[in-house]
Amino acid sequence: MPTTPYDPPALEQGTLRVTPLGGLGEVGRNMTVFEYGGKLLVIDCGVLFPEEHQPGVDLILPDFEPIKGRLDDIVGVVLTHGHEDHIGAVPYLLKLKPDIPIVGSGLTLALTEAKLKEHRLKPYSLTVTEGQRENLGPFELEFIAVNHSIPDALAVAVRTPAGLVLATGDFKMDQLPLDGRLTDLRSFARLGEEGVDLFLVDSTNADVPGFTPLERSIGPVLDQVIGKAPRRVIVASFSSHVHRVQQVLDAAAAHGRRVALLGRSMLRNMTIAEELGYLTVPEGVLIDYKKARDLPEDQIVYMSTGSQGEPMAVLSRMANLDHAIEPGPGDTVILASSLIPGNENAVYRVIDGLTKLGANVVHKGNAKVHVSGHAAAGELLYCYNILKPRNVLPIHGEYRHLMANARLAQDTGIDADRTILAENGTVIDLKDGDARVAGQLDLGFVYVDGSTVGEITDADLKDRRILGEEGFISVIVVVDASTGKVISGPEIHARGFAEDDAVFDDVKPKIAAALAEAAKSGVRDQHALSQIVRRTIGRWVNQSLRRRPMIVPLVIEA
């Protein structure tokens, strides 16, 4: 990794082709395409959230290019659970073809349909439950209950004549889940007896030894922190973490506090969860945010978004004093989530900002206020021993997670050559129990930037980084159209420099001299003259000021 792209051969009859379009080498934009008999099945269709080196980007989508010309062949999109990194890109796929069937559990589809409604899309959907079997084209699907940090998560067994594939989605093996819904290891064992030819398995915590702590261990800690808080309590969590919101509601009720939900996605998702019976709201606990401000400060809990330090989310705005609620001394802020890789700096900035305002910030680093929703190494070993899969494809994780998962598989006796370390776009063919890499597609990042999708390129992001880090210089020169002689300028303006524009007085004669030399050589092309200006001032700025700014030269003929 990374692998040089090469096209796979035409798909042989009786072969199942599996191609991850996202989710490998990253924590997000999970999407895998299965092909058999000329038909395509998609499992998950999620987004990736941007990092600091992608300024201005709202979301990052999987690269749909390999399937854009085959949308009519898609028999359905199966969603394993309702997290954004598994459902967030569905609207963008359905904008290409609105009648692609969407399949998932009740809560997963409700969250997806609410998102689609915002995009003015009404899907063709099929609600399924654990134990149910459905046929979509040549694919026979069986849905299996798995435990995760959101209710109603499902693993998917995909049967074709080429073999049996089990895709876990995100899962863990909490033995005392809050909703009583265990990962169905009996079904895993039954599939193991049948013979799993390819196991697509969550890798996020593969490098964490032991077992993921119980979800219910968080409740007493939240209860204690909220009970001791002298003033307002602000809890930040993922807007889809129903279990965590339930624990906060219960703790608030136990201490005579009321809860106000902050953030559009938090309010939308919890309304859906309550309507469907996944969230039980103690009577009289929820209160409208505007009315909550009239309550005594020791009687309110705000439940907000922003646990990953997202700049526009509620918690970040509070830390920047850009929200009606301004944290201060005596307030308690609880970050009830884990850190998604890449978000560390943003989260610690928010923690520092809140601490500077005087708030007591409680987070996973100093209190047990969150447990992961992903299986740790011990749980994964159990799965390998129960299933005894013939081939393994670690998914959902950065490269170190995929590698750790592959090692676990090999520790349980699976041959190294049957443990496939893939990346996005790796084409894997399964036939007669043998999985092999058949090609490598050249995939890119698809950026959502405001109302544009896929228009922003990596070159545009590089320009944005240069503007933010190195500054901007514009140079305007007027030259005689017939002689090429400078008749006005150079006029130089800079932004993002500590120096006054007068600092450029030394380079103006150099620009004029370079243009005069070009005129003597007969150069009259405006683009060529602009490049001379760019090179001249660029060299000078680099040598004199040790900067590499964006330079925009404008040569005008008169």
Task: Mention every residue, 6+ apart, whose C-beta is less than 8 A from residue 37.
Answer: 137, 138, 160
Output 482 or 148, whichever has higher pLDDT: 148
Least confident of 244-253, 293-302, 379-388, 497-506: 497-506
CA nearest to 160, candidates 45, 21, 20, 18:
18
The residue count for the chain: 558
Least confident of 133-137, 214-218, 279-283, 552-556: 552-556
pLDDT digits (tens, 9 = 90+) for 155-175: 999 999 999 999 999 999 999
Report the alpha-carbon distance of residue 537 to residue 543 in Å, rounded: 10
Predicted pLDDT at 465: 66
Task: Mention every residue, 6+ apart, whose C-beta is less than 8 A from residue 464.
Answer: 55, 56
Query: And the tokens for 490?
Result: 């150079």
In a domain, 11, yes or no: no
In a domain, 9, yes or no: no
In a domain, 136, yes or no: yes
Report the alpha-carbon distance of residue 291 to residue 45 in Å, rounded: 38
Helix (H, G, I), strand (E, B) or coil at 515: helix
In a domain, 8, yes or no: no
pLDDT higher than threshold 70 for residue 466? no
Residues 79, 179, single domain; the answer is yes
Q: How far is CA 526 from the centre of its chain?
A: 44
Q: Please report, for the domain that includes residue 516, its CATH number.
A: 3.10.20.580
Query: And the tokens for 303?
Result: 């439940």
pLDDT digits (tens, 9 = 90+) for 8-61: 999 999 999 999 999 999 988 999 999 999 999 999 999 987 766 665 667 788
The answer to whether the beta carbons of residues 169 and 153 sit under 8 Å apart is yes
Report the alpha-carbon distance of residue 533 to residue 475 in Å, rounded: 8
Report the alpha-carbon distance of residue 398 to residue 352 in Å, rounded: 27
CA nearest to 374, candidates 141, 83, 49:
83
In a domain, 393, yes or no: yes
CA nearest to 384, candidates 415, 429, 424:
415
Q: How far is CA 339 from the centre of its chain?
A: 12
Predicted pLDDT at 151: 93
Q: How large is the average pLDDT for residues 331-343?
A: 77
Report the alpha-carbon distance of residue 266 to residue 268 in Å, rounded: 6
In a domain, 5, yes or no: no
Q: How confident is the model at residue 208 (pLDDT cuts 50, 70, 90)?
A: very high
Residues 318, 379, single domain; the answer is no
In 217-254, which positions are buried (b, 16+ CB within 10 angstroms) versus exposed (e)?
A: ebbebbbebbeebebbbbbbbbbbbbbbbbbbbbbbbe
pLDDT higher than threshold 90 for residue 522? no
Number of domains in the chain: 3
Q: Which residue has the tokens 């987070």?
A: 363
| Strand ranges of the sheet holding 258-261, from the earlier edge strand across to the other edge | 258-261, 300-304, 233-236, 332-335, 360-362
Give how far Cα 284 sits from Cα of 224, 262, 273, Å: 21, 17, 17
Please give the DSSP secondary-structure letter assigned to residue 11: P
pLDDT higher than threshold 90 for residue 537? no
Residues 189, 223, single domain; the answer is no
Residue 106 CB-density burial (10 A; 0-12 exposed, 13-18 middle, 19+ buried)? middle
Residues 342, 378, single domain; the answer is no
Torsion (CA) 349, 449, 56, 475 in degrees, nearest 10: 180
Asked which of 316, 334, 362 is the last residue of a domain, the reply is 362
Least confident of 83-92, 234-243, 377-386: 234-243
Q: Please report, for the domain that includes residue 422, its CATH number.
A: 3.60.15.10
Q: How large is the average pLDDT for residues 465-494?
A: 73
Residue type, 286: L
pLDDT higher than threshold 80 for residue 518? no
Instruction: Give percent above pLDDT 90 in the chain.
Output: 54
End-to-end CA distance of the chain: 55
Residues 444, 464, single domain; the answer is no
Predicted pLDDT at 450: 67
Q: Please report, for the domain that includes residue 293, its CATH number.
A: 3.40.50.10710
Q: How large is the average pLDDT for residues 385-394?
A: 97
pLDDT higher than threshold 70 for residue 435? yes
Asked which of 391, 424, 450 is the last residue of a domain, the reply is 450
Query: And the tokens for 16?
Result: 């199942």
Residues 76, 182, single domain; the answer is yes
pLDDT digits (tens, 9 = 90+) for 280-309: 999 989 999 888 888 998 899 999 887 665
Residues 431, 551, single domain; the answer is no
pLDDT digits (tens, 9 = 90+) for 309-325: 565 678 888 888 888 88
Predicted pLDDT at 347: 79
Task: Mention every residue, 6+ apart, whose C-beta is less than 8 A from residue 430.
Answer: 15, 16, 17, 18, 162, 163, 165, 197, 198, 391
Q: How large is the average pLDDT for residues 442-467?
A: 72
Q: How large is the average pLDDT for residues 96-117?
A: 94
CA nearest to 19, candidates 403, 439, 433, 398:
439
Predicted pLDDT at 203: 96
pTM for the model stands at 0.83
Report the alpha-carbon distance of residue 525 to residue 557 in Å, rounded: 10
Residues 297, 400, single domain; the answer is no
In a domain, 143, yes or no: yes
Task: Mention every residue, 6+ apart, whose C-beta is less than 8 A from residue 524.
Answer: 481, 484
In a domain, 402, yes or no: yes
Predicted pLDDT at 110: 94
Predicted pLDDT at 34: 98
Residues 428, 534, single domain; the answer is no
Report the alpha-carbon distance of residue 399 to residue 461 in Å, rounded: 24
Residues 484, 426, single domain; the answer is no
Q: How large is the average pLDDT for residues 101-123?
A: 93
DSSP letter string, 261-291: E-SHHHHHHHHHHHHTTS--PPTTTB--HHH
Which strand (E) or helix (H) includes residue 492?
strand 486-495
Q: How far is CA 217 from the centre of its chain?
A: 27
pLDDT higher than threshold 90 for residue 510? no
Predicted pLDDT at 293: 85
Report the alpha-carbon distance of residue 204 to residue 340 in Å, rounded: 10
Residues 416, 465, single domain; the answer is no
Mean pLDDT of the chain: 87
pLDDT digits (tens, 9 = 90+) for 483-507: 667 777 777 877 776 566 677 777 7
Give how far Cα 448 sits from Cα of 101, 263, 316, Å: 24, 21, 21
- Sequence-ordered alpha helix ranges (H) in 136-263: 185-194, 218-228, 242-254
Torsion (CA) 416, 421, 426, 429 in degrees, nearest 10: 30
Q: How far is CA 431 from the centre of its chain?
A: 32
Q: What angle do CA 335, 282, 174 make, to 5 degrees?
A: 55
Residues 79, 187, single domain; the answer is yes
Predicted pLDDT at 546: 75
Other C-beta atoms lying within 10 Å of the C-beta of residue 143: 23
pLDDT higher than threshold 80 for residue 449? no
Asked which of 395, 424, 450 is the last residue of a domain, the reply is 450
Output 554 or 328, whichever has higher pLDDT: 328
pLDDT higher than threshold 70 for residue 524? no
Please give the DSSP secondary-structure letter assigned to residue 12: P
**Containing structural domain, residue 85:** 16-210+372-450
